[in-house]
Amino acid sequence: MDQHVLVVFPHPDDETFGCGGTLALFAKSGIPITYICGTLGQMGRNMGKPFFANRETLPKIREAELEKACKAIGIRHLIKLGLRDKTIEFEDPEPIVTRIEQILREVRPSLVLTHYPGYAVHPDHNALGGLTIRAVSRLSMQDRPTVYAHAFARNCQDVIGPPDIVNDISKAADVKYAAILAHRSQSQVMLPRDNMLQRESFWTYRCS
Amino acid sequence: MNPIERSIVQPALDSFLNQEVYLHLETTNGAYAAHRQESKMTIGAYIRNGRISYIRGTITGEGPYRVGLKMKDGWVYAEGLTDFDLEQEGKLLLAGHDEEGRLAVALELSLEPFEL
């Protein structure tokens, strides 16, 4: 199977903060990346610092930031699901799972990156991660991609153990930083901290 | 948005009196509040495109400000409002930002539905 990475996250900037370095390294080695972004982060409270967005202008601003960040990372194919921030867990799951399943069958990814259901803090993360896993589980065993799940809940390692994938992203630190800056409305109050520019960690998810 | 001036916001509130208007009302302390500090709860509520009509609407306080909209059968209330925006025709946006510029509360009125 040709290599192709499919990324599924709910908010513009999830792709950058959680796995921007990993994605940049894939892109650099010529592996195509498709990104399914669930919402436009319409309900975020960060408006820039000093704030330049408001509740009504935020979606368009974040959409433009998303496209800029994708360009920086090397994501060429962006699919916007058109859902609304904070509402994914309340939607009828079936149409969303079916849509993701269709995309999986079209793109035939070798690897899927999404949030680890239950351990990704934001209800949208947990919900869309869960829907993505359900969609992957609908594929036959031989068609299933590897799934890297991103988890960052406090003490999540007590339950799911340490991550089995720890990527050194220092060679892509500048690209990740550029993508972080592209998400200007969100990153001005949340500049890189800890090891965000050195390492990114994932758990290989076993789909039942 | 600009810092609230009551002398501008009060007439704007009056302009929506006694007609059906669309309401966006929310408060949030951020989706990661509990994650960042265990003692904190994550709190948020919003209504988007609620339809209301009010018979009296008033902004009070010395900043941050409070707004109360008296309806025939109830009230709409927000406090902690710091900034306003009247750039779009038929829309009044009010928001309260914390010291980091993060939105903590919003009260918006519009003659047309807000975008979904």
Residues B91, B49: contact at Cβ < 8 Å?
no
Return the residue in A54, A85, A154 with the most chain B beta carbons within 10 A, the one to mutate for interface testing.
A54
Residues B23, B50: contact at Cβ < 8 Å?
yes
Identity of residue A148 = Y
B7 assigned to some structural domain: yes
**Which of chain A's residues have a Cβ under 8 Å away from the Cβ of B109?**
none
For residue B97, give both structure tokens. 């930002």
Question: Looking at residues B98-111, what average pLDDT do you find?
Answer: 96
B76 assigned to some structural domain: yes
Nearest-CA distance B22 → chain A (Å): 13
Is 70 exceeded by the pLDDT of residue A194? no
pLDDT at A169: 97
**Cβ within 8 Å, pair A56-B88:** yes
- In three-state secondary structure terms, B51 is strand
Q: Domain limits at A10?
A: 5-204
pLDDT at A195: 85
Q: pLDDT per residue over B40-92, tens digit each?
A: 899 999 999 999 999 999 999 999 999 999 999 999 999 999 999 999 999 99
Domain containing residue A128: CATH number = 3.40.50.10320
Please state, for a pLDDT cut of 70, what percent of chain B lies above it: 98
**Cβ within 8 Å, pair A189-B102:** yes
**Which of chain A's residues have a Cβ under 8 Å away from the Cβ of B32?**
121-122
B78 assigned to some structural domain: yes
Q: Which residues lie closer than 8 Å to A148 by C-beta, 6 or more apart?
A: A19, A111, A112, A113, A114, A165, A202, A203, A204, A205
Instruction: Select from B26, B28, B101 the Cβ nearest to the Cβ of A48.
Output: B101
Name the residue in chain A with its Cα closest to that of B109: A56
Given strand B65-71, what is the order of strands in its sheet? B54-60, B65-71, B74-81
* Cβ count near A140 (within 10 Å): 6
pLDDT at B38: 66
CB–CB contacts below 8 A, A to B: 59
| Total domains, chain A | 1
Please state, for a pLDDT cut of 70, what percent of chain A lies above it: 99
pLDDT at B111: 98
Residue among B59, B9, B75 nearest B67 (CA): B59
Residues A45, B102: contact at Cβ < 8 Å?
yes
- In three-state secondary structure terms, B15 is helix
pLDDT top residue among A190 and B76: B76
The upper half-sphere exposure of residue A170, i.e. CA atoms within 13 Å in the direction of its Cβ, equals 3
Question: Looking at residues A132-140, what average pLDDT do you find?
Answer: 97
| Total domains, chain B | 1
pLDDT at B59: 96
Is 70 exceeded by the pLDDT of residue A1? no
Q: Would strands A199-204 and A165-168 be described as parallel, antiparallel, or unpaired? A: antiparallel
The rounded mean pLDDT for chain B is 95
DSSP string, chain A: ----EEEEESSTTHHHHHHHHHHHHHHHTT--EEEEEEE--TT-S--TTTT---TTTHHHHHHHHHHHHHHHHT--EEEEEEE-TT-GGGS-HHHHHHHHHHHHHHH--SEEEEE-TTSSSSHHHHHHHHHHHHHHHTS-GGGPPEEEEE---TTHHHHH-S-SEEEE-GGGHHHHHHHHHHSHHHHTTS---TTTTTEEEEEE----
- In three-state secondary structure terms, B110 is strand
Nearest-CA distance A109 → chain B (Å): 31
- In three-state secondary structure terms, B18 is coil
Q: Domain limits at B80?
A: 2-110
Q: Which residue has the tokens 């290599």?
A: A3
Chain A 161-200, CB below 8 Å of chain B: which residues?
189
B80 assigned to some structural domain: yes
Band of pLDDT at residue B32, cut at 50, 70 and 90: confident
pLDDT at A2: 85
Question: Looking at residues A50-77, what average pLDDT do you find?
Answer: 97
Residues A200, A170: contact at Cβ < 8 Å?
no
Question: Looking at residues A144-166, what average pLDDT do you find?
Answer: 96
pLDDT at A15: 98
Q: Does A84 touch chain B (CB under 8 A)?
A: yes
Is 90 exceeded by the pLDDT of residue B34? no
Domain containing residue B73: CATH number = 2.70.180.10
A2 phi, psi to nearest 5 deg: -65, 150
**Which of chain A's residues have a Cβ under 8 Å away from the Cβ of B1?**
51, 54
